[in-house]
Chain A
Amino acid sequence: MEIVVASSVGVLTAGGVYLILRLRAFPVILGLALLSYAVNVFLFATGRLAINAPPVLQLYSEATYSDPLPQALVLTAIVISFGMTAVLVMVALGAYLEADHDEINMDSPNTDEDMSNKETGA
């Protein structure tokens, strides 16, 4: 099972990194979403894996529990990463609507074209 979790984290990270290196805003957002999964699962895994041992106390019987602390941290991380994604989407959307393209690099050919157009237009 450990191999399953570790390889999933690895694959999600690789996919996320590849996508954040793309040149347009939307793939970068997707990449960040993948990276969020990877990071959340990674953090969760720092508590090690346990099956059938949720951290809900059994008051009247002996039981083993999985590590609750990473779970609490990851729970808020999931919600915060949603907030981050939302802000990012908003920024990307705003940039696209203002500039009419969703490129993220300032030196890409289309941006230069826009600038030169503006200069000649003015």
Chain B
Amino acid sequence: MSDGSTLLPLIASLPFLGALVPGIMIRAGRNACATFTAVPTILALVLLGLMAPAVLRGETLQAEIMWLPQLGLSVSFFLDGLGLLFAGMILGVGLLITLYARFYLSGDDPMGQFYTYLLLFQGAMLGIVISDNILLLLIFWELTSLSSFLLIGYWKHLPEGRQGARMALAVTGAGGLAMIGGMLILGNIVGSYNLTDILAQGDAIRASEWYMPALILILLGAFTKSAQFPFHFWLPHAMAAPTPVSAYLHSATMVKAGVFLLARMWPVLSGTPEWFYIVATVGLITMVLGAVIALFKDDLKALLAFSTVSHLGLLTMLLGFGTEKAAIAAVFHIINHLTFKAALFMTAGIVDHETHTRDIKRLGGLAKLMPITAVIGTITALSMAGIAPFNGFISKEKMLEEAVHTVWWENPWLVPAVATLGAVFSVAYSLRFIFHVFGGPVRDDYPSKPHDPPFGLWAAPALLTVLVVGIGVMPFLAEPIVNIAATAVTGQETNAYLKLWHGLTPALYLSIVAVVGGIVLLLLHRPLDRAWLAAPRPEAKAIFDALYAALARLSHGLTDGLHNGAISRYLAIFVTATVVMGYFAFTSGTLSPPSRDLLPIPAVAAVGWLLLIVATGLVVINHRNRFRALILIGIIGLMVSGGFVYLSAPDLALTQISVETVTIMLLLLALYFLPKDTPKESSTGLRLRDGAIAVTAGAGVAGLAMTFLMRDFSSISDFHLANSYTGGGGTNVVNVILVDFRGYDTYGEIIVLGIAGLTIFALMESLLRGPAGARLKAQPVPPDRSRDRHPLMMVVATRAMLPIAVMVGIYIFLRGHNQPGGGFVAGLVISIALLMQYMASGFAWTQSRQRIEYHSMIGWGALIAGLTGVGAWLGGAPFLTSIYGYIKLPMIEKFGLGSAFAFDLGVFLTVLGAVMLMLYSLSRIARYAGETVNVEPMDYDPSLRVTDSKQEET
């Protein structure tokens, strides 16, 4: 195997793929489920084993897949010594946990769910340790928070489980957010988000003025994850999780993620006084504090949890020392802590499983009842205490050795003294674990009669115990992996001489002090415990809960204050903010002097302007009388159309006037069902405020318009004018832009219009089926309704006008490419012609004569326009490239025809269909509101009267 790097993405994805399996396999039974959970882990381990020789030779394997290169985000993985060590631990312990959980979980627990969460977590964790891109690492980092949330809260019925899960998520999630900031700063300093690039730029990063913020933010992430003081409190609460979870997440893997990150970033961030004083001090405090609290915990798992906090503090402190030897000690202790702590958690789980209690005060004398468990527990606890010949002893010696050489603020004895104090408590709680659980006389009041569990349950901790003893007696076996991992941490060749016996060193004396002190403390445990319980202590959970509640109150207050459901308020804020920003932009920019002369104002324009201003003012003043306001709006629309005519925009004028017509019809239809008046409810103050906002906004817009109307600037319009005929085959440049130059925009717009039509149809459909439909039916018919609703004159007139109006529409459509007109206007004109029929003869009569569904008209329109665009592909041109040619048909003159014609046909059909569908949908309400269904074209048909009288005569 020359290069196994291509396997890296596969390894990373195996647990995620495997996570799909347990949920399915649980149907085949619990054994099958556990077996299939183990398969992806075993596969990943095998793949890792294939790559291990290369890494142990000192190579770094890399694999990169581009993801979002614009953001500097790629799916890239790399495997060096540190990654190999952690990946091996994650997968190896994961396998043992899978086995242990199979026997630990009771029949009532949904095992498939458990294994799915476990594999998700394993995948996230694996991703962290082999990511070569810090953005990718952050994604996996957050994934561990999420998946551990699921695992801690696995026993959903327990309130402690839910609260513990929430607390863990809040603390580690908040730290993760801080870390994102820190990582982005690092990426900015280096100019790359690739970890290998960042690791090579240590000097630049340490010299940067952004070093301190980046350091603090990243440390926040690492410290919260690894439960360092003052964020240590979440870890004991997370112990509400099932014991396999505690053993996996809270001893071996997740809490080590913070330590891993410190180790990973060690070459870049360490070596400065800031690093030493923050990291080493926090680690030291955490180590001692965790050890002291652990001694006074009666819950087995709480004891182990605080012991974990303490050991994580130890690791943090070692990395904080910033020396190569300390880094070696840290790497070695990571391995040792994993072996004894995972085994201890499993032992605690076995004790809990067998005796149904984890309270140390109710236990004791288990050595005689559960000899195998007792042996496992004793050996691993002795290793935790740091007693020879177990592996914990060697790493603790190394730690004390480093502590002796550390000077804190010109004080050579402070660190060794405090570290030894931590070791004293460490020995004390470890011995308490042994003597108060397994030692002493056999009791007769266990909640359940204990005996050794089946092999499956003790196999995993037993295997770890073998490692504890093996590494302790033959430490050189661990040397290669420790060396390669420490080389990866420090960035230079390291040589760890791991020996059980180092001779009579200061560290050995301190160790002896620790053991003796620990024994004394244990003997004094009873009075000390009483004093501890009597002393006032800050309760972390209460502080956390109070903080949490305060934050929730703050965000409630903010949300309710800003987002109170009053859209008027949002709009007022929005308009004001826009005006203020516009003002700042206007005053801070530069403006060239006016370059255009003012055009003269002819009398007709002045009259139109006056009408528009007066009508707008009247709309505002009269808006409570809704019908009157609507009529006035019509005047404004007419004046705007007239303005377009005068100012050389015939196409706009045509469109505006036809849209105006359908808009007024639409609003009239709606107004029929809405209240006819708006009540007077806003206070004078509110109206004055709104008036001030409105006048300011209007003045701003007017000023802006005036400013650019007075100045020349170049645009791309000249290109359109020059190429319209030669390139687009039409002389009406506006239409050529619509169907050719900017055809893609137009295509999008007709689709939007079609969607709007369908939306209205769907809304009406559901509205009429709901309570509103029933309410409409119950509405009384207004007494002042016209008796002649389909008047003879109107019916006859619209009938005569229909063919004329349709002909005008077709004419406007056909001439559109060369003269003002086109698909948009033609569609509107024909829809008005059809609407007149609805108005004259009523809904049912017209509807029964309709042959083409409006829905399909929209569909055909969009389809024709789209196919025209696709047609260009056949000629090898991009989407919507138009072609143009001359066609000679018999009988008529030669005429030009382009593909744009077909596109415009699509526009025409869509506009017609959408407008008709909208108005048709609205008019459907009328039928529900007691409208009589008319089958005759008019209410009073004189021709029938004539035939009637003739019949009477005969």
Contacts and interface: CB of A to CB of B under 8 A. Distances in A.
Given A4-B601, A51-B647, A54-B649, A82 B674 contact: no
Interface stretch (B128-136, B208-216, B606-614): B606-614
Q: B-side binding surface: helix, strand, loop or mixed?
A: helix
B918 A10 contact: no
A17 B678 contact: no
A3 interface: yes
Given A6-B709, A80-B749, A26 B649 contact: no
Interface string A47-81: 11111111111010000011111011011101111
Contact of A30 (B623, B738, B819): B623
A93 B792 CA distance: 31
How extensive is the interface on chain B, given as a class?
35 or more
Nearest to B575: A17
A58 B775 CA distance: 60
B776 A97 contact: yes
Interface stretch (B470-478, B493-501, B715-723): B715-723
Given A14-B698, A54-B650, A78-B656, A3 B598 contact: yes
Contact of B738 (A18, A25, A76): A76
Nearest to B917: A86
Contact of A2 (B572, B617, B710): B710
A92 B746 CA distance: 28
Interface in B557-584: 564-569, 571-572, 575
Contacts of B609: 4, 7-8
A45 B616 CA distance: 19
Given A10-B698, A30-B633, A87-B756, A69 B663 contact: no
Contact of A5 (B571, B643, B733, B922): B643
Given A41-B640, A45-B709, A55 B763 contact: no
B655 A78 contact: yes
B623 A19 contact: yes
Contacts of B613: 7-8, 11
Interface stretch (B232-240, B391-399, B724-732, B893-901): B724-732
A87 B738 CA distance: 24
A42 B682 CA distance: 30
Given A51-B647, A80-B752, A93-B925, A59 B717 contact: no
B705 A42 contact: yes
A6 B690 contact: no
B757 to A, nearest CB: 7
A10 B623 CA distance: 19
B709 A48 contact: yes
A117 to B, nearest CB: 15
A95 B659 CA distance: 25
B636 A34 contact: yes
A116 B623 CA distance: 30
Contacts of A90: 759-760, 763-764, 918, 921-922
Contacts of A71: 649, 651-652, 734
B517 to A, nearest CB: 67
Interface in B602-657: 605-606, 609, 612-613, 616-617, 619-620, 623, 626, 629-630, 633, 636-637, 640, 643-644, 646-652, 655-656
Contacts of B670: 89, 92-93
A6 B488 CA distance: 69
A78 to B, nearest CB: 5
Contacts of A50: 647-648
Contact of B737 (A53, A72, A107): A72
A6 to B, nearest CB: 4
A34 B620 CA distance: 10
Interface string B697-723: 111011101101110100111001100
A118 to B, nearest CB: 13
Given A10-B698, A51-B648, A79-B911, A2 B820 contact: no
A22 B623 contact: yes
A59 B733 CA distance: 12
A98 B771 contact: yes
Contact of B648 (A3, A25, A53, A91): A53
Given A3-B706, A57-B731, A65-B733, A21 B572 contact: yes
A14 B771 CA distance: 38
Interface string B754-770: 00110110011001001
A116 B749 CA distance: 44
Given A50-B648, A79-B655, A72 B709 contact: no
Nearest to B679: A24
Contacts of B752: 80, 83
Given A23-B682, A27-B678, A10 B705 contact: yes
Q: Which 7 A-B pairs have the closest CB atoms?
A: A10-B702, A106-B565, A14-B698, A97-B772, A83-B756, A1-B599, A18-B694
17 contacts: A1-B605, A2-B596, A12-B636, A13-B698, A18-B691, A38-B701, A48-B709, A68-B717, A68-B734, A75-B651, A75-B652, A75-B824, A76-B824, A79-B911, A93-B925, A98-B770, A108-B566
Interface of A: 1-27, 29-30, 33-34, 37-38, 40-42, 44-57, 59, 65-69, 71-72, 74-76, 78-87, 89-94, 96-98, 100, 102, 104-108
Given A22-B678, A48-B596, 11 more contacts: A37-B637, A51-B599, A56-B819, A68-B717, A69-B720, A76-B738, A80-B752, A83-B753, A83-B914, A90-B759, A90-B764
